[in-house]
Amino acid sequence: MNTVYIGVGSNLGDKLQNCCKAIELVDNIENCTVMKQSPFYRTEPVGVASQDWYVNGVIRVETGLSAQDLLRSLLSIETGMGRVRKQRWESRIIDLDILLYEHHVIDEKNLTIPHPLMHIRKFVLMPMVQLDPDLVHPILGRTMSELLDDLAEEGQGIMPIGRA
């Protein structure tokens, strides 16, 4: 089994419910079990203007699936929940991103692991630190706590909203 960290986010509709439903659907993927879930956070959109704030969290999953098979399953969940991809960083009913897959480094046409922006996003690092503060980024060689400590506060508002 492989340990995988998946980012979960939503900024359309009932954001918290969307995230909870997506986590339940991930747990229902064959050969995939959600082992632990971070608290949820209300987070400021990064890289775009005039969007509603997100609800974000991270889950730790154990899976026998390959990274590509897991990605296909996550994309299927997003589509099934009503996500339509039109442009980058648009508002979304659900977003499921593979952040880390064991300590593997993967650079393929449709999949980059570790997630290429995770180390500069507070809405990823804060929940990662809640799950596994001493987990080391496989490329940067720094822990999640160290990466979070290095982030600037400006433009990355984040507020805990509790567990589902």
Residue 58 has pLDDT above 70, yes or no: yes
Supply the pLDDT for residue 66.
Answer: 97
Question: What whole-number distance in Å separates Cα of residue 164 and Cα of residue 145?
Answer: 24
Record: fold of 2-162: Alpha-Beta Plaits (3.30.70)
Residue 116 has pLDDT above 80, yes or no: yes
Provide the token pair at 40.
């949820």
Supply the pLDDT for residue 51.
Answer: 78
What's the rounded mean pLDDT across residues 65-81? 96
Active site members:
83, 92, 95, 97
Lowest mean pLDDT among 103-107, 125-129, 158-162: 158-162
The DSSP symbol for 84 reads -
SS3 letters across the chain: CEEEEEEEEECCCCHHHHHHHHHHHHHCCCCEEEEEECCEEEECCCCCCCCCCEEEEEEEEEECCCHHHHHHHHHHHHHHCCCCCCCCCCCCCCEEEEEEECCCCEEECCEEECCCCHHHCHHHHHHHHHHCCCCECCCCCCEHHHHHHCCCCCCCCEEEEECC
What's the rounded mean pLDDT across residues 41-60? 86
Supply the pLDDT for residue 164.
Answer: 42
Residue 144 has pLDDT above 90, yes or no: yes
Residue % of the chain over a pLDDT of 70: 93
Provide the token pair at 102.
């064991």
Number of residues that this document lists for the chain: 164
Q: Please state the domain extents for the chain.
A: 2-162
What's the rounded mean pLDDT across residues 90-116? 94
What band does 88 get if pLDDT is binned at 50, 70 and 90?
Answer: low
Largest CA distance in the chain: 41
Supply the pLDDT for residue 155.
Answer: 65
What band does 40 get if pLDDT is binned at 50, 70 and 90?
Answer: very high
Mean pLDDT of the chain, nearest integer = 91
Question: What whole-number distance in Å separates Cα of residue 60 and Cα of residue 135?
Answer: 12
pTM of the predicted model as reported, rounded to 2 decimal places: 0.93
Supply the pLDDT for residue 68.
Answer: 97
